[in-house]
Structure 1
Amino acid sequence: MEMYFMLPFVSGTLGLHDLINKIYACLLEEVFEGIELHAKKDGSAVPCKIMKIFYSDGTKMCEVGWIRRDKTLINTSVVKAADLFYRRAPVSRNTLKIFIRDSTTQTTPWVIHENLAKKYGIPMDPPKDLMHKKGRKRKENGTIEDGRKKMKKDEGDAHVPIKYPIDDLLVRPNADDPALSKRPPLATDFRVPRGCVGDLLMVWDFCSSFGRVLNLSPFPLTDMENAICHKESNVLLVEIHAAMFHLLIKDKGDYFSVLQHKKRKLKVSLVTWAEYLCDFLEMTKIEELSSNIATVRRGYYGLIDTDMKLKILRELVEEAIKTSAIREILIERVDQKQALNATKRESTRKDKEEQNLNTEIAMNNEENQTDAVQDGNESVDEPARGKEEKDKSNVSRSKTEGKRHLVWHLETEIEKLSIRSSPLGKDRHYNRYWFFRREGRLFVESADSREWGYYSTKEELDALMGSLNVKGIRERALKRQLEKYYNKISNTLEKRTKEIVNKMLLEEGVLRRSTRVRAQPKDNPSMAFLKYVNKWKDN
């Protein structure tokens, strides 16, 4: 889609509808390598795929592969680009509309996101002819004059205030802005390659969220990271794979059919798990993954590259998500979440009604007491009234605490039922911020998902929040989310910090003991994954 949007057309000050039509028409006229369309062959329209585009005597030519019904290519031919045509447009107008809105930061003139501009080498400065048009104005008699000069002459350099928030990349510093703190540097000491951290988090989060369905007891993210990087097969990784295989077998889908064809037993053991892994890799028909089958069969799974291990697990998770067991859990959680949200809304509505009623009663009582004192019809017993008000205040405070606890309980239950993890928000440069309730770090993913880092202390969290500019749309939304979950995030960060300190003290103890007695590898906390026991295993 991105390459379509970067076609050499002038978008300028066109409206959205006109821009969509222009791109749509342009796409129907242009051809690209890798595109599937149709061409005339033996008097009929036959589907084909463009393999190569070249020019011959100034004519645009295409080398195409003819597509069979099973989507495989047979022979190739060279045809004129003008003879190729689309049976249907490569993309719909509605898709174009969504893509344009997601890819631009400004209209009239259209301005694309800075990261896309850098990726495709597109200058961010407006074209000179566009600037020329903006600064000129036509008089009634048809002559041209400088519109900017006229505006200065008529309005005396009137300044039009900017209405914030605006796109973060358009925010410029102002003398009246509050001072922003310096954004703390990200920690990047991952053991897996940084480009694979997303896969690591996805697999771990899936196992944590659906552990009961998988019959797989929870384990820390650091244990999984250490297990993935270990150069030998280990019990944690074997249990993860076995749990996934059992889920696929129970679903009786494609993987189940493969095992039946090979007459495999339907029980994966710690001894035979590699055979079932090879069967899965064959089933995927993904060359990048299946090329590791020989290594696994020889018993050298641990020597496979870390990024490849994670890609295999990611593929397993994507297959597991399609199973009926996971779909049923998702549907059930959606229903439960909707019911809890309805309860929360009803509780909020009742609280508001009660608050309005109490305010009205208090105002009426105050008016009645004032009238009684002025008329002299009622003696004012200050001590008795003070005690009565104090009792009412205590009752009201108790009710308020009860309601807060109810809301907190509902929010906690709703969070537990979350179907998938979503980022808290994005910063100025589209970096995404992730927080997992089972992991005491705030992860940061770059816009292109190739780089990852994290914050792990409360001080870093505070500095991050102080560095966000609320004049920008993205950073304002991100700051609101961080403020909303501040207590939860900061408490989790502090808890992890204490655990790290205790871990370091334990490692020092192991080191001192190893000078006297040879310590076993499993005594080292960084090798804790070797002692993993699946307490939820279905025997």
Structure 2
Amino acid sequence: MKKGRKRQENGTIQDGRKKLKTDEEQAYVMIKYPIDDLLVRPNADDPALFKRPPLAIDFRVPRCSVGDLLMVWDFCSSFGRALNLSPFPLTDLENAICHKESNVLLVEIHAAMFHLLMKDEGDYFTILQNKKRKLKVSSVTWAEYLCDFLEMTKNEELSTNIATVRRGYYGLIDTDIKLKILRELVEEAIQTSAIREILSDRVDQKQVLNATKRENTRKDKQEQNPNTEIAMKKEENQTDAVQGGHEGVDELVRGKENDKSNISRSRTEGKRHLVRHLETEIEKLSICSSPLGKDKQYNRYWFSKREGRLFVETADSREWGHYSTKEELDVLMGSLNVKRIRERALKRQLEKFYSKISNALEKRS
């Protein structure tokens, strides 16, 4: 009995040692990259990262509605000429939305959208004709046209506010609902032929500008090689002239070199100016913003040059925040781990547009 018990105990100890060894081997298995950002673990030899700066959340509208606010403002800013709207800052729209009474800016935005839909002669135009409405919206009648639009959307969440609007209490509607109504208007406006033509023209112009930029870059590279060969030949001629004692020829060669050097320098500066001009024009023709990238938590980063802020949107789009200083931008970049795929890509984009973003942030502050 004792021998059997001893064997059993020894067997248990051996089994335990084998299991421990197996666990240790599994623990030291090399991680195969690439892996998701959330699975990356810091190593002792990794450079120290900054702590991510806290986001400012000083929005007047609900944080879940910031995306709608930015969408409406960006559309009005991008297509202001087609809408006959003068430019206005984001804060003006935010204040107007939160105001408990109808105000001039919101009336103008709604009226501009309605007129655009009327000119398109689509569903909204048909509804107005059936109701024998005048095709001109005023500050007095704009609420009627808004009710017609809400009926057309057949969106229960929005249409439940028709009675409130008709009684003249538009300002009492919840802020998030006001923005959802404007978002619906923007989505309808984007489908109009007028906006689609503008988008098409901008795409064509952008392609032409990009092609011009590529052609200039190609020509610049071609010119650099012949210039190198010519410079080498000039150097040989100059050496021969010195060795032969032709001082007058030497001075003449130097004078020509200086003249051509100045011409070459002026051409280079002109090309740089042209490239900067093309880049500016391409930027003006940008149709819509796209995120710079995402961090490890899938938060999206948006930069608005017009507003001078770096906005951050959570993965579920329910919350927003922003950075508004150059110092915050620097700390943010120092907090990104380049071992993570998403954060490395985001950092590259921030580095690429660093001067543009930092200048916009400094102007705002």
Bin of the TM-score, shorter chain as denominator length: 0.7 to 0.9
Structure 2 match to 1:47: none
**Letter of the structure 2 residue corresponding to residue 204 of structure 1:** W
Q: Count residues with an aligned counterpart.
A: 341
Alignment deviations for residues 300-336 of structure 1 (CA, whole Å, 9 cap, x no partner): 0000000000000000100111111111111111111
The alignment status of 1:463 with 2:331, answered yes or no, reads yes
- 1:244-393 aligned at under 5 Å gives the runs 244-367=113-236, 369=238, 376-377=243-244, 389-393=257-261
* Residue 227 (1) aligns with residue 227 (2): no
Mapped to 2, the partners of 1:260 and 1:325 lie a distance apart of 20
Contact 1:166 1:471 in 2 (8 A): no
Equivalent position SS for 1:474: helix
| SS at 1:444 equivalent | strand
Q: Cα–Cα, structure 1 residues 328 and 182, in superposed 2: closer, same or farther, change >3 Å?
A: same
Q: CA deviation at 1:493?
A: 1.2
Partner of 2:342: 474
- In the alignment, structure 1 segments of 5+ residues that lack a partner are 1-145, 152-156, 498-539
Please state which structure has a larger fraction of its residues in strand: 1
Superposition pairs for residues 213-224 of structure 1, below 5 Å? 213-224=82-93
State the partner residue of 1:206.
75
Q: Distance in 2 between matches of 1:355 and 1:260?
A: 66
Percent identity, please: 81
Corresponding position: 1:184 with 2:45: no
Q: How many angstroms apart in 1 are the aligned matches of 2:110 and 2:245?
A: 81
User: Which amino acid letter does the alignment assign opposite residue 490 of structure 1?
Assistant: S
Aligned to 1:408: 276
Measure the CA separation in 1 of the matches of 2:279 and 2:338. Answer: 26
Is the counterpart of residue 427 in structure 1 residue 314 in structure 2? no
Residue 238 of structure 1, CA deviation? 0.5
Residue type of the partner of 2:57? T
Summarize the alignment of residues 486-497 of structure 1 with structure 2, pairs less than 5 Å apart: 486-497=354-365
Q: Compare 166-175 and 295-304 and name the one that shifted more.
A: 166-175
User: Measured at CA, do residues 402 and 167 of structure 1 come closer, stay the same or move farther in structure 2, by a change above 3 Å?
Assistant: farther
Q: Which amino acid aligns with 1:377?
A: G
The Cα offsets for residues 36-92 of structure 1, whole Å up to 9 and x where unpaired, read as xxxxxxxxxxxxxxxxxxxxxxxxxxxxxxxxxxxxxxxxxxxxxxxxxxxxxxxxx
Q: Secondary structure at the match of 2:302?
A: strand
In the TM superposition, residue 195 of structure 1 has moved relative to its aligned partner by 0.4
CA gap 1:182/1:239 in 2 versus in 1, 3 angstroms: same
Q: How far apart in 2 are the matches of 1:463 and 1:225?
A: 28
**Residues 429-462 of structure 1: CA deviation (Å, up to 9, x unaligned):** 2111111221111101111111100010111111
Pair 1:390–1:174, CA change in 2 (3 A) = farther
TM-score where L is the length of structure 1? 0.59
Contact (CA 8 Å) 1:206, 1:317: kept in 2 or not? yes
C-alpha distance in 2 between matches for 1:180 and 1:348: 38
Cα gap change, 1:356/1:181 in structure 2, threshold over 3 Å: closer, same or farther?
A: farther
Residue 475 of structure 1, CA deviation: 1.8
Is 1:439 the counterpart of 2:304? The answer is no
Higher relative contact order (CA 8 A, sep 6+): 2
What residue identity is the alignment partner of 1:194?
R
Structure 2 stretches of 5 or more lacking a match? Answer: 1-21
**In structure 2, C-alpha distance between the alignment counterparts of 1:325 and 1:366, rounded to whole Å:** 61
When you count helix as a share of all residues, which structure comes out higher? 2
What letter matches 2:356 in structure 1? Answer: K
* Backbone CA RMSD of aligned residues: 2.5
